[in-house]
Structure 1
Amino acid sequence: MRRTAGKRLRQDGYATGRPLPGRTVLLFDEIGDPDEMHNQAGRPEHAPLVAAFTAQLAEHLKRTARQPELIPKTGDVHALLEFCLRPRDVSSGK
């Protein structure tokens, strides 16, 4: 599963194509769909998997944060991800 805010341009050879606007969750079947043409994240049968991966990512970001004191105290994983995935200068704390 990938999560993107749609604001990233890469210069390392990894083709992002046209970034999707806003919050986007991507889930692909890497065996059945190696070209990643069919996003499975919106399918109802995959909702538990998307929720589990999202919670796992939020927990990982909280555990590995450089400035854990800045992380909002919330049970909303999407708000937490929104905060943690936003670039910020470690020295300024902003």
Structure 2
Amino acid sequence: MDEQISRYLPLTEATAYILMAVVEPLHGYALMQKVEQMSQGTVRIGPGTLYGAFAQLEKEGLIRMVKEADRRKSYLLTEKGKTVLLEHLRRTELLVTYGRMIAKEM
């Protein structure tokens, strides 16, 4: 795995949901709602956490601001962000696959 990508892994659960949500342009409030819906209510991201995450993810080049209107900034996943997210999902899939195998043996 590319060292540039591995430095971002593993993603936290909240970060993974944020990156999955911004495959389409979203502003903060819409993203909070989407994450809650995607996670079936198990993950809730507050405004302070979200805007801190936006700043960090933008600084790292994983997301970019694509629109600003009425004090609402919309963000979108970058190519680098897609690569990181896909690698995270691959690793998570391995974990789930082996976890299911072990669970059957218990």
Query: Normalising by structure 1, what TM-score?
Result: 0.36
Query: Normalising by structure 2, what TM-score?
Result: 0.33
Question: Which structure is higher in RCO with an 8 Å CA cutoff and minimum separation 6?
Answer: 2
* Higher normalized strand content (fraction of residues): 2
* Higher normalized helix content (fraction of residues): 2
